[in-house]
Amino acid sequence: MSALSAPAEIIERVDAALAEVLSSSAADFARISPSAAELIEPIRAFTAKGKRIRALIAWWGFELAGGSASAEPGIARVAASVELLHAAALIHDDIIDDSDTRRGRPAIHAAYRTGHAEQGWSGDSELYGIGAGIIAGDLCLTLSEQVYTASGLARLTTPSAIRHHDDFRREVMVGQFLDIRLQAAPVAAEEVSERAREVLTYKSAKYSVEHPLLLGAALGGADDALLGRLAEFGLPLGRAFQLRDDELGVFGDPEVTGKPAGDDLRQGKKTVLVGSALTRLDAETADWFSSRLGAPDLTDAEIGRMEELLRSTGALAAFEQEIDSEIARADVALGRLDIADADRDRLAEYIRRLTRRSA
C-alpha cells in the first residue's frame, strides 16, 4: 500500500499552514501598529512562491517512517516551518551575497531599499534595506520555530527529533559561514575542491535533502536503523542536486536558469567543479584561472576560455561522473528501503526531477 502523499496535495496543505501562521501574525502585529504590515506583507508575498522541495521531503520522511498526515495533521505545520526557515535563509543570503533579485523579483532587502529611496525617506537607503531585510529574515526564523512548536506532533520532544531539528538549523548556518569564508580567504589550489565540498555538504546537500528527510522521519517515529538508511538515500541525493546546480551555474542555459551564462565564474565562486579544474591545470594556467575568477573586469572571452579549460582538463567529465555516481548511490539506497512499489517510483521520479540537467 502506498504511504506517500502526492506532491500537489502536500503543497496545498503546506501553503494553507503558511497562510495561517502569517495571517495570524499579521493580525497580531496590526494591533501593535499599522506600519507593522510593511514587515509581514513582504514575507507573505515571498513565501507564497517556492518549489517547496524541503517541505515535500520532510513530509515524505514523516510518511516513510510510518507517520500519518491524517492522524497527525500537524505535519503540515512542520513542513511550513521548514519553508519559513528556508525563507529566512534566502532573505539573509541575498543580503550576504549582495544579490538584488530572487525568484525573478526584487530581493526583500532590495525592495525595502527601493521603497526608502523612492519615498525620499531620510538616512541611507542601502542601510535601511539591509536593516529591514535582516529583521524580516529574523522574523521568518522565529515564525519557523513558532509554527514548528505549534504543530503539536507527539514526537516533537523526543531526543531524535530535537537533535535533527537543531542540526538542520545550526549546520546550514555553519555551511553558509564556511561559504563566505571560502570565497574570501586565500586557499591553495589543491584545497579548493575539498573546502567547496564541505560547503556543498553542509550548506546544501544536508540542508536541502538529508536534514528535512530525517527530521520528518524522526517525527514519524523512525528508529536509528531507518534513520541511517534514509541518510544513505538523502545525502547522495542532496549532493547530486547541488552538484548539478553548480554545473548549471557555469554551463546552464540562461533561458532556463534565469542567470547569465557562466554566472558562477563571474561571481568568482570557488566550487567543487572549479577546484577540480585547478588541480588539473599547470601552475601558470591555474594561477591565471584563480586570479581572473570573479574579477570585476572579467570578459566574455575569458569566461569562454575558463569553460573550455573545465572541459579540456576533464574536470567537467569527472564532475558529471560524480553526479551520476551520487545519483546511483541514492538509487541503491532507495532500493534498500522497505516501501511500496508506487512509493519507490514516486521517489525515483523525484530523484530525476531534482537532478535533471535543465534547471
Least Å from the CB of residue 265 to its own copies:
15
x/- contact string, 185-224, with its own copies (CB under 8 A)? Answer: xx--------x--x---x----------------------
Q: Which of 64, 65, 143, 286 is in the footprint of its own copies by CB under 8 A? A: 143
Residues 6 or more apart whose Cβ sits within 8 Å of residue 38:
132
C-alpha closest to that of 183 among 265, 101, 79? 265
Q: Is position 261 an interface residue for its own copies (rule: CB under 8 A)?
A: no
Q: How far apart are CA 167 and CA 74, in angstroms?
A: 21
Q: Give yes or no for a contact between 246 and 212, defined as CB atoms under 8 angstroms apart.
A: no
Q: Is position 166 an interface residue for its own copies (rule: CB under 8 A)?
A: yes
Residues 6 or more apart whose Cβ sits within 8 Å of residue 227:
160, 214, 217, 218
Q: Is position 118 an interface residue for its own copies (rule: CB under 8 A)?
A: no
Residue labelled with grid coordinates 504543530: 151
Least Å from the CB of residue 42 to its own copies:
11
Q: Is position 238 an interface residue for its own copies (rule: CB under 8 A)?
A: no
The residue range among 30-38, 207-215, 220-228, 322-330 that interacts with its own copies, by the rule CB under 8 A, is 30-38
Residues 6 or more apart whose Cβ sits within 8 Å of residue 348:
331, 334
Least Å from the CB of residue 122 to its own copies:
6
Q: Is position 348 an interface residue for its own copies (rule: CB under 8 A)?
A: no
Q: Which of 6, 45, 162, 318 is in the footprint of its own copies by CB under 8 A? A: 162
The residue range among 6-14, 130-138, 320-328, 347-355 that interacts with its own copies, by the rule CB under 8 A, is 130-138
Least Å from the CB of residue 31 to its own copies:
10
C-alpha closest to that of 241 among 14, 8, 53, 49? 53
Q: Which of 131, 257, 263, 305 is in the footprint of its own copies by CB under 8 A? A: 131
Q: How far apart are CA 345 and CA 350, in angstroms?
A: 9
Q: Which of 2, 7, 19, 38 is in the footprint of its own copies by CB under 8 A? A: 38
Q: Is position 22 an interface residue for its own copies (rule: CB under 8 A)?
A: no
262 phi/psi in degrees, rounded to 5: 65, 25
Nearer to its own copies by C-beta: 5 or 25? Answer: 25
Least Å from the CB of residue 123 to its own copies:
5
Residues 6 or more apart whose Cβ sits within 8 Å of residue 93:
99, 176
Q: How far apart are CA 178 and CA 199, in angstroms?
A: 6
C-alpha closest to that of 149 among 57, 83, 77? 77
Q: Is 301 exposed, middle or buried (0-12, 13-18, 19+ CB in 10 A)?
A: exposed
Provide Rg for the chain, Cα atoms.
21
Q: Which of 53, 65, 80, 150 is in the footprint of its own copies by CB under 8 A? A: 150
Residues interacting with its own copies, by CB under 8 A? 25, 28-29, 32-33, 35-36, 38-39, 88, 92, 95-98, 116, 119, 121-124, 127-128, 130-132, 134-139, 141-143, 145-146, 149-150, 156-157, 162, 165-166, 169-171, 173-178, 180-181, 183-186, 195, 198, 202, 268, 294
